[in-house]
Amino acid sequence: MNFPSVDFPWFGNGTVIAAIAIIHVMISHGIAIGMTVLTVSAEYRAMKKKNNELNELAKKMAKWILIITTTMGAMTGVGIWFSTTVLQPDSIGSLLRIFFWAWVVEWIVFITEVVLLIIYYYTWDKCQTIAQRKKHINLGIALALFSWLTMAIITGVLAAKLTPGNWIETKSFWDAFMNPTYLPSLGFRMFLAVMLAITITSFFVRWRLKNKELQSEMLNVFAFWGAISLPGTIITGLWYLKSIPAETYDMIVWSTGMSDTMFQVINGVGLLLLIVFLFWITVKPKTLPWVLSLVVFATSLSFIGEFEMVRESIRKPYIIYDYMYANGLLAEKQDEINEEGYLVNAAWATYDTVDQYTTKAEAGRDIFIGQCLICHTENGWRSSRAMANRVDGWSEESIKTFIPTMHNVRKAMPPFMGTEEELEALAAYLAKITEQENEVAANE
């Protein structure tokens, strides 16, 4: 609580962060990176085969890349800044200190990407001769490289949150950046981006295109990239899994909220569908059933959602592994805060000690906001995270007994930090909100 706090009371702050991030990843990976690769590749094939219709279709794809990345992509990109900086300021503060110059470079690279994209699209029709077309394709390759580079930079930051590696001791930029999951996760995202682009674009090609010859030409391009990307995704995915800490591995299935069997069946069926789909577009591109194109489109979007949820969840209780807990408290400060108190160390709490507040519960509320709000709400849609629901029926005394042990009982939670009075205050607050909730329910 070194910053003011913003609360999405019913929805949950974590949900807001997740929703924005997932949409952003779908766009940045699937459209900005993956679809650019497919588009340039289609433009190349169109030149080789002197196929003007294919060339026009590729141009249309470039138009959509331009529209989507500069609208939804940019909005959700800034949205990530909103959600993480405003809802999770402590963690972004730390990450900025480590990755300051990476972020400076990131912005320059992104601007370059957008400028290249604008030039790429608007010079399309001006390049008519073979020599001009070749130059134009090179421009497209440069664009693909720059959009990949934005990912290559940001992945360093994201991967370091899960596996900060030697940085914990050395505090060196390169130790943080080239951390143990950096290369596997970059590889995985790269292939995944192309797979995602294939399924998204195939769906629209199948749905909107009347010309079966043209559909077949385009799906041929996709089949080529699919043959590289699907094995690529699987191999780098396994490598990625091998590189994450053992404790986090166990949390993968848990974080999806599925049972072991359900998790295996759902992901297995998803993979199978993708394989069938790739076979189909390789062997009989003209007869691709629209249902199949729709199903793999939905499957791949869901997979991105699942991947992001899992990636964010398995890090719990940390936001930066072994260093900072999800609520922004530093692991190494635990003894100090237990001794001195939490409120006195929280710049944005109303007062420094519990007895300065009018009631204990009021002090408890500030502690809840500081230590629990990032994962919990008072009530709301996500019943497993809504406090009024989770401690319903518990006495104030049993809440008080539970809190100091909560990180052992539920491994996703950081330990409570604070004095005995602060613990009592938090328990009083939680008891009060469940009581209020029950009164509301009784009156209805």
Report 304-343 residues binding ligand HEC (CB under 6 A): 316-317, 326-327
Interface segment toward ligand HEC; rule CB under 6 A; list 48-56, 57-65, 374-382, 434-442: 374-382
Is residue 412 part of the contact set for ligand HEC (CB under 6 A)? yes
Q: Measured between alpha carbons, how far is 329 from 2 in angstroms, rounded to an integer?
A: 10
**Minimum distance, C-beta of residue 127 to ligand HEC, in the bound complex (Å):** 52
Report the sign of the C-alpha dihedral through residues 411, 417, 421, 422, in that order.
negative
Is residue 375 part of the contact set for ligand HEC (CB under 6 A)? yes
**Minimum distance, C-beta of residue 392 to ligand HEC, in the bound complex (Å):** 10
Instruction: Determine contact, residues 5/171, Cβ cutoff 8 Å.
Output: no
Per the structure block, which two tokens stand in for 126? Answer: 């001006």
Tokens 């952003």: give the residue. 24
Per the structure block, which two tokens stand in for 317? Answer: 């209780």
Interface segment toward ligand HEC; rule CB under 6 A; list 81-89, 143-151, 353-361, 411-419: 411-419
Closer to ligand HEC at the Cβ: 170 or 383? 383
Closer to ligand HEC at the Cβ: 295 or 391? 391
**Minimum distance, C-beta of residue 180 to ligand HEC, in the bound complex (Å):** 22
Among 137, 251, 391, 428, binds ligand HEC (CB under 6 A): 391
Tokens 């010079």: give the residue. 123
Closer to ligand HEC at the Cβ: 140 or 414? 414
**Minimum distance, C-beta of residue 418 to ligand HEC, in the bound complex (Å):** 9
CA distances to 28, 167, 298 from 71, rounded to whole Å, are 12, 36, 22
Among 35, 244, 369, 403, binds ligand HEC (CB under 6 A): 403
**Minimum distance, C-beta of residue 387 to ligand HEC, in the bound complex (Å):** 7
Interface segment toward ligand HEC; rule CB under 6 A; list 45-53, 139-147, 260-268, 413-421: 413-421
Among 102, 372, 386, 428, binds ligand HEC (CB under 6 A): 372
Is residue 384 part of the contact set for ligand HEC (CB under 6 A)? yes
Closer to ligand HEC at the Cβ: 219 or 426? 426
CA distances to 92, 94, 153, 177, 186 from 171, rounded to whole Å, are 16, 11, 18, 11, 22
Report 12-71 residues binding ligand HEC (CB under 6 A): none
Residues 6+ apart with CB under 8 A from 11: 377, 380, 381
Q: Measured between alpha carbons, how far is 180 from 89 in angstroms, rounded to an integer?
A: 25
Q: Measured between alpha carbons, how far is 128 from 126 in angstroms, rounded to an integer?
A: 6
Among 374, 388, 425, 431, binds ligand HEC (CB under 6 A): 374
Is residue 191 part of the contact set for ligand HEC (CB under 6 A)? no
Quote the Cα angle for 222-224-228, to 5°. Answer: 110
Per the structure block, which two tokens stand in for 228? Answer: 């590289």
Closer to ligand HEC at the Cβ: 37 or 413? 413
Is residue 442 part of the contact set for ligand HEC (CB under 6 A)? no
Instruction: Determine contact, residues 205/294, Cβ cutoff 8 Å.
Output: no
**Minimum distance, C-beta of residue 443 to ligand HEC, in the bound complex (Å):** 25
Is residue 124 part of the contact set for ligand HEC (CB under 6 A)? no
- State the CB neighbour count (10 A cutoff) for residue 64: 16
Among 311, 376, 400, 432, binds ligand HEC (CB under 6 A): 376
Closer to ligand HEC at the Cβ: 14 or 180? 14
Q: Measured between alpha carbons, how far is 168 from 50 in angstroms, rounded to an integer?
A: 56
Q: Is 103 exposed, middle or buried (0-12, 13-18, 19+ CB in 10 A)?
A: middle
Q: Measured between alpha carbons, how far is 345 from 399 in angstroms, rounded to an integer?
A: 24
Q: Measured between alpha carbons, how far is 276 from 122 in angstroms, rounded to an integer?
A: 37
Interface contacts to ligand HEC, rule CB under 6 A = 316-317, 326-327, 371-372, 374-376, 384, 390-391, 402-403, 406, 409-410, 412-414, 416, 426
